[in-house]
Structure 1
Amino acid sequence: MDDRFSQINKALKIELQEKPKSKKVWILFFIFICLAAGIFYAPNFITKDSSSLQRKSVAKEIQATKNRFKAAVVDLPISIFSSFSFDEPKNILLLGISGKGNDAPDLTDTILIAQIKNNPLKINLISIPRDLWVKVPESETLTKINTLYVFGKAAKNQDYGISLAKQKIEEITGLKIDYYFLIDMSVVKQIIDELGGVNVWIAKDIYDPQFPGPNHSYQTFEIKAGWRYLDGETASKYMRTRHSAQGDFDRIQRQQQVLEALKQKLMGLNPISDLPPLLKIAEKFWSNIKTDISLTQLPSLWQIAKQISPEEVNKIVIDREENELVLGDNILIDGQIASILKPGAGIENYSEIQAFIAQGQ
């Protein structure tokens, strides 16, 4: 069997152990922009009263971090909004992968488009279901959309994997993708540890004897109700556990809860006195993100992002239960049943989905 298909089949089988992950990339995207822009603007916080040694030390730290960041981005010569009249929206693709430490690290289990509009300023967050059954671009092969990145990366390289996902998402939505972010979600655990943990209110006792472990195994995750100070490992398990009365809804709430606690702790850091840990955190973020937005573009994007809270984001969800734009089905993959979603209008017919997105904008 072609190595590309064996990797996809392996990823799909591993996926059967997991429920779909919720859409937590938006908050991570916001945090990333704030961190990146904070480093860009950090020299402005170095006052005339700062000592010469302090100014040199801070400037050296910032420049070193900027240099490391350049490896994660494509340095474009113009600002994201310098030539943008706001007469038409900008569409930023956000892809979230499970990342290091997971059995299927390259599945894009979170697929979102952040569409930025102006007059008035507005962000539409369009979610694409990871189980959507699609044809691989330039191929007759059918697969889940969350494996396209795996397919392209195995066939050529990471850039080709991103290109396949981008091409198919443009076809599905009818939207031109202007920029992308590929985010390794394991960065959440790393940053929480770098901050020394986060304080979270646990509403109810949790006991999950079937929490996914390494090599397709299971382990027990247990945590008592009340205020708990969580390290990265515990916070990660708390966000991922399936054991609750309302299933995925509860998990979405837990993930938002932890990420909000993380955001608040990050926003409380002082750009001077906390600069060393801030730079370490920023570097962890940047080493787990790939994007074609340049460092010089980030401050402009930050000015947009900081004006909008997550509650003000208009969410456009392609969901089976609500609108039947997609219909559920089951297929057999190497002897195991896998759940998929097909467009209600038929395989590779995305006319209804495109109309729904246009109406929701």
Structure 2
Amino acid sequence: MFDWTQRLTRWQLGLIIGGFCLSLGLWFWLGWLQLHRFQIKTPSQTTSTSITPTPSPTPDPLAPINVALLGFGGGSHQGGLLTDTIIVAKIKPKLHQVLLISIPRDLWVEIPEASLSAKINSAYALGFDTRRHLDQITGGKLAKTTLGQVLNQPIAYYAAVSFSSFENAIDSLGGVTLKVPMSFTDEFYPIEGKETESCDKSEAEIAALSATLSGFSLEKQFGCRYEKLEFTAGTQTLDAAAALKFVRSRHSDTAGNDFNRSLRQQALIQGIVQKLLTPSVWPKLPKLASQILKSLDSDITADQIGQWLLTFPNPQQYKLHSFNFNLENSLVASHSADGQYILVPKPELGWSGLQQIVSDWEMAIATQASQASQASQSAIQSGI
């Protein structure tokens, strides 16, 4: 039987670095197995008369790594591959930091490979649209390229997972404890399987409503399709179903926009990190991995994860920091040519200004870490 306790340090490493997203954290588990299942062989040296080529610069193994974390609804319904959750996780080993940058799904962007402009949450889905004949351009590559343009930073990897497998995995964890940022009520959370219920309305009544109403105003007339959600601010322990509703809720009068959803998604991620660091959970990880892998799409290889596990130092010291684009700091609401609600950079900022805001935030976080480190060293030297 596998002895988890003897691998504490490496598991903490894998979970601290990868645990910010459950799917990525479990992907680390596969990398660990890959690393330890096979013996690494070094090719024997041979005599060569050829000219020794100039060696290429060795990449810095502790350089920052950007990973796109994507969550999609899945299923056979229309829009199942649209990514409701879009987070760029920047792992900074030298500073022992993981920076989480939430991207609102309604952000209007250019997707050059697809020769169109669209909401950023469609970039991943476009890679699966056979009508566009994008050849070898996958959904993950489209998402990485598009996010890289938004942030003006290269996105090295991506990990995409469906919410259904995410829910099953959280259920196997026994739920998750997290901090609800603010209390809210959502009167219209959709009930799966009841999307087309008539709610005891006759065909004539439905026709009359459809003639005068549209969009969500029309949908609200069919109350049986929805359930009421209530969450109270503070520390809460949620089961899998409640956790998924917590991050996907959209119709609260006080916290229904995508910016608040981003805050809730980050709260869930931090709750999962803490859960995965609980020793009692470790024996469950193989089962969790099998559940996540049913719908996980990623270009992170087991060999790459093995290298990360060997390279990243001091997992206990890693801290998570979160950033959200919103209407206060960088964005403005608008409408596309076909009437869609969209978000774009404020005119006075443009894309370069938006990117500078992220850079300034990163610099501030790095400065705080440096100051804290200097203060700690001074305290040690002073014998405090």
Return the alpha-carbon distance in structure 1 between the equivalents of residues 98 and 172 of structure 2.
31
**Partner residue of 2:143?**
165
> Is the aligned partner of 1:240 residue 2:215?
no
**Partner residue of 2:345?**
343
Q: CA offset at residue 88 of structure 1?
A: 4.3
**Partner residue of 2:360?**
359
Partner amino acid, structure 2, of 1:219:
Y
Partner residue of 2:165 out of 187, 195, 209:
187
**Partner residue of 2:128?**
153
Instruction: Give 1:28-39 correspondences, 5 Å limit.
Output: 29-38=20-29
Instruction: Please say if residues 33 and 298 of structure 1, whose CA atoms lie closer than 8 Å, have aligned partners that are also in contact.
Output: no
**Partner residue of 2:54?**
none
RMSD after superposition: 4.4
Distance 1:98 1:352, change over 3 A: same
**Structure whose CA Rg is larger:** 2
Alignment size in residue pairs: 292
Instruction: Give 1:169-318 correspondences, 5 Å limit.
Output: 169-197=147-175, 208-214=186-192, 215=195, 218-221=225-228, 231-241=239-249, 242-243=251-252, 245-247=254-256, 262-268=272-278, 275=283, 277-302=284-309, 304=312, 307=315, 312-318=319-325
Q: CA offset at residue 137 of structure 1?
A: 0.8
Query: Could you list the runs of 4 or more consecutive aligned residues of structure 1 that deviate by over 6 angstroms after TM superposition?
Result: 199-207, 223-229
Q: Give 5+ residue unaligned stretches, structure 1.
A: 1-25, 45-58, 64-82
**Partner residue of 1:8?**
none
Return the alpha-carbon distance in structure 1 between the equivalents of residues 181 and 120 of structure 2.
35
Instruction: Please say if residues 27 and 259 of structure 1, whose CA atoms lie closer than 8 Å, have aligned partners that are also in contact.
Output: no
Q: CA offset at residue 102 of structure 1?
A: 6.3
Return the alpha-carbon distance in structure 2 between the equivalents of residues 355 and 279 of structure 1.
41
**Cα deviation 1:217-261 (Å, max 9, x = unaligned):** 732235698999754334423443444754457766665665555
Secondary structure of 1:162's counterpart equals helix
Instruction: Please say if residues 91 and 115 of structure 1, whose CA atoms lie closer than 8 Å, have aligned partners that are also in contact.
Output: yes
Instruction: Please say if residues 33 and 301 of structure 1, whose CA atoms lie closer than 8 Å, have aligned partners that are also in contact.
Output: no
Return the alpha-carbon distance in structure 1 between the equivalents of residues 360 and 107 of structure 2.
21
Return the alpha-carbon distance in structure 2 between the equivalents of residues 101 and 32 of structure 1.
21
Instruction: Please say if residues 248 and 261 of structure 2, whose CA atoms lie closer than 8 Å, have aligned partners that are also in contact.
Output: yes
Return the alpha-carbon distance in structure 2 between the equivalents of residues 357 and 255 of structure 1.
19
**Cα deviation 1:251-304 (Å, max 9, x = unaligned):** 666656655555555444558xx74x4322111122232222111322443574
Distance 1:137 1:120, change over 3 A: same
Distance 1:319 1:125, change over 3 A: same
Instruction: Please say if residues 179 and 292 of structure 1, whose CA atoms lie closer than 8 Å, have aligned partners that are also in contact.
Output: yes
Q: CA offset at residue 160 of structure 1?
A: 2.2
Q: Give 5+ residue unaligned stretches, structure 2.
A: 1-16, 39-57, 197-218, 220-224, 363-384
Secondary structure of 1:153's counterpart equals coil
**Cα deviation 1:175-225 (Å, max 9, x = unaligned):** 122222223233231113334555789999986441123436732235698
**Cα deviation 1:19-56 (Å, max 9, x = unaligned):** xxxxxxx9864444543444555799xxxxxxxxxxxx
Q: TM-score, normalised by structure 2?
A: 0.59
Instruction: Give 1:16-31 correspondences, 5 Å limit.
Output: 29-31=20-22
Q: CA offset at residue 340 of structure 1?
A: 0.7
Return the alpha-carbon distance in structure 1 between the equivalents of residues 143 and 182 of structure 2.
39
Q: CA offset at residue 132 of structure 1?
A: 1.6
